[in-house]
Chains A and B, each alone.
Chain A
Amino acid sequence: MAEAAISVKNLAVRFASEAGAVTALEGVGFDVPEGGFITMLGPSGCGKSTLLRAIADLVEISEGAISVFGRTPEAARLARDFAFVFQDASLLPWRSAIDNVRLPLEVGGKAGVVDQHASPEDLLALVGLAGRERALPHELSGGMRQRVSIARALVTRPRVLLMDEPFGALDEINRDRLNEELLRIWAETGTTIMFVTHSVPEAAFLGQRVLVLSAHPGRVREYAKVDLTAERRLAMRETVEFIRITAHLRGLLEAA
């Protein structure tokens, strides 16, 4: 059995605000195995983004501990273990698709990243954008921009890929297609993925396990196993097993 890639223990995150301290997360604990694909569900404002950002050393931890391959989040960040994908593609509008994908190779202490990085051209082909390397972001559709941002995330061969509602702004067809592509990429690269979504079917379709959070303060409601075969197909979403799983997750969300 693989060792834990990410281990979260008794985590609390509080924000200071004018109306006093806001507790975003409280007593959160779970493990993510190396090479695992974990999806996260929870009501709006329950702290899903905060949890991802705490893992990536973007917000301060108030209590508890996070370890990433046995290191602190900061050490892992400095070692370039992470890649982050946001809901909004966040591309640099003056850079072509290929130059946006190259950005991670140009910053942040290039030693160790440059000699073992993936080829930006191959990555654009992997996400279905061969031939559009020179296109500027405003010349691409929303779905294509998000593909570029996924390629950018993969270029450093990150050990951990954190995705915060990456397909939330896309139409269903694009979303389905990118879901399948993401699973293929995950199988090919073997990175550990944590993926936040508001879509129950998406969470069940992608995840080996689904971390369901409850709100105010954010706690782990259930760390549900998804008992589906490793090989996932979109048609699977019509099966009885799949519907049983989503019904269970919906029940958890309603009670959360």
Chain B
Amino acid sequence: MADIEADGRPATAQATIQAQPRRRHFWRDKGPAIAVAVGIILLWQAIVVGFSIPTYIAPSPIQVAQVFLEQGDVLWINFWPTLLEAAAGFLVGNTVAVVLAIWFVHSRLAERAFYPIAVFINTIPIIAVAPILVLILGNGYAPKIVIAALICFFPTLVNMVRGLKAVSPEMLELMRVLSASPREVLFKVRLQSSLPFLFAALKIASTTCVIGAIVGEWIGSNYGLGSLIIEATYNFRSPLLYATVVLGAGLAVAFFSLTSLVEKRVLTWKTQDVH
């Protein structure tokens, strides 16, 4: 029909918009941030050298880099447990949150009974719960995973409940006209429309789960980045301390990037304006 050309963009034009070269955008998008980061590192090096600051107070970036080369094995040995705990906590915390959110959306009673408790748990500072969990769960992976899970749990629960409810009333009426069951509404409509909300929460959780794992390792643990931080601090091994912090940050950034990547793959239908 003639109106397809009139009010729809021709297919070829659309393809060009989507296939625009990424390369040219990379430096325009990321360039300023990279420039600032490099600038800060250079400034840091200049201050440490210029004011002759003792290494135990603040090491220079070059000293920190040396730790990666010379004590890489220590860093890696402690890196893997933290990665494992953070990933497991992320998985457990978010899964529980999603399942609870689905339950809440289908049962007003469940929501009224458990939502306030979830809010209460969220108000307890995680640093205060950590020793309690270590006492209860011992010194293995379990308390760290639980702490990482707890820290992920709440933002995902809140966002997921909101996302599952963010379906237009017309869409729900349409499903009712079609005599769709609650299960069909969940699987055909609610879950997909909650995905933008879920990923917003997962991106937060992808960095906080690392914090949770590290905080868990602060208490009477002898492995992991968290325990390395404590040890390096007590022994004034500042370059090692800094290197550990950098590695922890790198882990969080890696989790975040991975989550963003999955989001891009899954949410292909999401237009920019829904942001």
Whole-angstrom distance from the CB of A125 to the nearest CB of chain B? 9
Q: Which residue of A lies closest to B267 (CB)?
A: A94
Whole-angstrom distance from the CB of A213 to the nearest CB of chain B? 21
**Would A90 and B174 count as touching, CB distance under 8 A?**
yes
Task: Tell which of B170, B177, B184 touches A82, judged by Cβ atoms closer than 8 Å.
Answer: B177
Quick check: is A58 within 8 A (CB to CB) of the other chain?
yes
Whole-angstrom distance from the CB of B14 to the nearest CB of chain A? 7
Within 8 A of B (CB), among A116-149: 128-132, 135-136, 138-141, 143-144
Q: Assess A138 versus B178: contact at CB under 8 Å? Given A88-B170, A108-B184, A177-B3.
A: no
A residues less than 8 Å from B168 (CB atoms): 88, 90
Quick check: is B54 within 8 A (CB to CB) of the other chain?
no
Quick check: is B173 within 8 A (CB to CB) of the other chain?
yes
A residues less than 8 Å from B274 (CB atoms): 93
Whole-angstrom distance from the CB of B188 to the nearest CB of chain A? 6
Q: Interface code A61-80, partner B: CB below 8 Å = 1, 0 otherwise? A: 00000000000000001101
Task: Tell which of A90, A95, A109 touches B170, judged by Cβ atoms closer than 8 Å.
Answer: A90
Interface size class of B (residues with CB under 8 A): 20 to 34
**Chain A residues touching B, majority SS:** loop
Stretch of A6-14, A99-107, A182-190 on the interface side: A99-107
Quick check: is A245 within 8 A (CB to CB) of the other chain?
no
Q: Assess A107 versus B188: contact at CB under 8 Å? Given A129-B4, A141-B7.
A: yes
Number of interchain pairs (Cβ within 8 Å): 83
B residues less than 8 Å from A128 (CB atoms): 1, 3-4
B residues less than 8 Å from A139 (CB atoms): 8-9, 14
Docked CA distance A68–B193 (Å) = 34
**Would A136 and B8 count as touching, CB distance under 8 A?**
no
**Would B8 and A141 count as touching, CB distance under 8 A?**
yes
Docked CA distance A92–B194 (Å) = 12
Docked CA distance A108–B192 (Å) = 19
Docked CA distance A53–B3 (Å) = 33
Q: Which residue of B lies closest to A135 (CB)?
A: B8
Quick check: is A83 within 8 A (CB to CB) of the other chain?
yes
**Would B181 and A90 count as touching, CB distance under 8 A?**
no
Q: Assess A108 versus B173: contact at CB under 8 Å? Given A94-B192, A143-B7, A144-B7.
A: no
